[in-house]
Structure 1
């Protein structure tokens, strides 16, 4: 993510403490990132708590969050830039914390899904504002280091999420959400006292909130069609209507983006070849990763009958590989093209899914069955995701770098949502031997999608870039 700071109006005392600001905004960003991973381990426990709930319906605990986060990330960030980043950060963090309490208090699946949607809206507001506030409070010479620490906190959340989720779910699934409350409240109090405000010095047009809604409808309707395909049937009218709604909403979203002065996605940015290829690559990679990750967790819990804590510990070696190989990728980037590194990450992810498909059996065999798949996938994530995220904006004009970073993170979240839906479409209500076979089909599909992403990543090696006309 670019460390370039736009023109701002600063409302701060002369005694700004950059280290304290970094600690506060990073803790809030940690919560938002943690919630993307911690719920995966609690997924099976949620299913047992809400009797009679299908996998398709339960998937909306994950997808409702991911889709909302993706759709609102850019417009809410732009609103905060216009009206005040500190107010936006406090509102986002407050909403996220309150929604976490509502999640824990939920007595039914759909009240939980609605609370998760509110959580995602809070996360979509606090994430971009936390970076903007950090850049404003940090002297120019320290911004690169501060941004790296802020980004590293997200990686730490990914590594801690499975273990924390496994530990907390042993108490009850409600603790997966209650853990956010003390951190959120402390961060709110600290942010109100020590973080200086900032906003854009020149007000642009209001962001396209209707376009964001259309994007959410398009992705949500496609997810619904995939989730319900086995229950309804592919030829059922409801499946067809869901697909039609997705296509129409997607078309209207693109039409709005082409004519709106502040669209969710600026079409001109997609003429920058590295940016376009990076978004396609990260989208497909995220589909494969999300499907493979949840399949492994559900296999250990539903086939091997692992408890939550044991599942979290079993998953953790994969995320621990991410920062290690992200560092490897950074060092290799001086000699190897970014496209080759990202493509290698896709191949490793595919290899992890294929190994799990071929070697994981009905009888527990973690060391030779499941562990190698987690390690290969973690290596793939470490090579691919940081490379794709960093390369996406390298050829964008400085004024578009923050928007570009938000768009590629949006592509990542949409891919994660559709990856979960891919799993649901292939597994459905399968049980016993059919369930194990269906999980194998998901791993195979994840491997194919990851391999399809590999050649797209090679587009990052191009040197002939068309910059947006609006730059």
Structure 2
């Protein structure tokens, strides 16, 4: 079942669409940049604050735990209070938390500040994309989502380049100051949007569901990361996994019975929404693993300076910037199915190419570089059609919740794989660990390709009408 999109004339957000698009891009750019810029700083953070691989994992995952779990709440808040207002609140919280990260005296303080950044990111992410859904219709919407995808996705990979230059130049703390620049530009632009989009007073926030989501995701991640330091049998690890698992098990029954669910389960009646989110779970889990592991490998095994490691991971950014907008426009006419199937498969080939990498840095040219290029091509083919397929299958009034669910699944998949990095790597970064990580990544990507090929439908109501408008 596919829920048709609203006709072009019904777009409720009638401000200057260029301003809306820029606001959506810059807001998501802030969140994406901070998600990835930290990776190249992890060795420097470890050297100054200590804690080894566990602190490195928590520096990444503290942000992703709150982002991934609270993004569901943010979708409801977006529908209740308005998308423009929630974007503004999120940017303010994010900026204040970034300052706290920059001055953190210990690893523990840094982790707490990163968690607060995740709260701000959770408020921003679903509302930013929902603004595009509210302002654009038909083929124009697909093209706008393509532009949003190119820039917001590129920020998550461009981050290591900028972050590497900052870390080597003036220190890792300054990477958190970087977020102040797009925030300072974005807030005045948000204020130029005079109209607002909200569902209305009937929208409510599912507090119990939010608690179950945070405890469930946080507990599982806590157990997976801390087992590296304490062991699987440690009481803290066992308790975290049991409590987290129990909360996740209780989440779905609660969502079925509550009057205002955090995750509207009826959205999953739409075939493309369900299949798209299954593909997201697999694909974004793989991507979370690869960028974390490859960035650490380049610095800790091949001894690349942070700025060189950043540049070395640039190829996927180039591919996204070159291809995403065009792919979005073409997929808007032809449908997402085969783009979503081919993209992850090509990226899987790129991951397997990195099995050639050895102890010598010269191997970058025939292993890591071509592997990252293929991953970038695969990403460009897949990301925009996936986003269009998922959001195109829900009614506009549920766009905030639909975007939140998809973003939450993507973030949670990535953070769980980062939490599992210690298990896959064998406790440290090395050639054998890199190879194991790439095999895991390739399998996840191929699973995402198969799910997309078998499950996604090119619905005429969404894509045929779009191409005709």
TM-score (norm 1): 0.86
In 2 relative to 1, CA 289–151 (structure 1 residues): closer, same or farther, beyond 3 Å? Answer: closer
Map Cα deviations across residues 360-407 of structure 1 (whole Å, 9 max, x no partner).
434432211210111121122122222222212333344334422221
Whether 2:59 is the aligned partner of 1:61: answer: yes
Whether 2:442 is the aligned partner of 1:443: answer: no
Distance 1:337 1:180 in 2: 35
In the TM superposition, what are the counterparts of 1:183-262 in structure 2 within 5 Å? 183-192=182-191, 194-200=192-198, 202-262=200-260
Contact 2:357 2:364 in 1 (8 A): no
Contact 2:163 2:307 in 1 (8 A): yes
Structure 1 residue runs of 5 or longer lacking an equivalent are 466-471
Map Cα deviations across residues 102-142 of structure 1 (whole Å, 9 max, x no partner).
11011111211111111111122123334555676789997
Matched with 2:402 is 404
Structure 1 residue 24 displacement after superposition: 4.2
Matched with 1:469 is none
Contact 2:12 2:134 in 1 (8 A): no
Matched with 1:313 is 311
Matched with 2:416 is 418
Equivalent in 338, 356, 359 of residue 358 of structure 1: 356
Secondary structure of 2:294's match? helix
In 2 relative to 1, CA 373–138 (structure 1 residues): closer, same or farther, beyond 3 Å? Answer: closer
Matched with 2:175 is 176
Distance 1:4 1:243 in 2: 46
Map Cα deviations across residues 183-233 of structure 1 (whole Å, 9 max, x no partner).
3234334544x2325243631241213312311221222222222334333
Whether 2:39 is the aligned partner of 1:40: answer: yes
Contact 2:231 2:237 in 1 (8 A): yes
Q: Answer with 58-67 or 20-29: which moved more.
A: 20-29
Contact 2:63 2:118 in 1 (8 A): yes
Secondary structure of 1:119's match? helix
Contact 2:290 2:441 in 1 (8 A): yes
Secondary structure of 1:364's match? helix
Equivalent in 270, 284, 296 of residue 294 of structure 2: 296
Equivalent in 271, 274, 281 of residue 272 of structure 2: 274
Matched with 1:160 is 158
Secondary structure of 2:449's match? helix
Matched with 1:388 is 386
Structure 2 residue runs of 5 or longer lacking an equivalent are 461-469
Distance 1:20 1:366 in 2: 41
CA RMSD of aligned residues (A): 3.2
Matched with 1:114 is 112
Map Cα deviations across residues 146-171 of structure 1 (whole Å, 9 max, x no partner).
55544443134235322111111122
Distance 2:384 2:76 in 1: 24
TM-score (norm 2): 0.86
Secondary structure of 1:365's match? helix
Structure 1 residue 95 displacement after superposition: 0.8
Distance 1:366 1:39 in 2: 22
Contact 1:322 1:381 in 2 (8 A): yes
Whether 2:68 is the aligned partner of 1:70: answer: yes
Secondary structure of 2:200's match? coil
Distance 1:341 1:216 in 2: 33
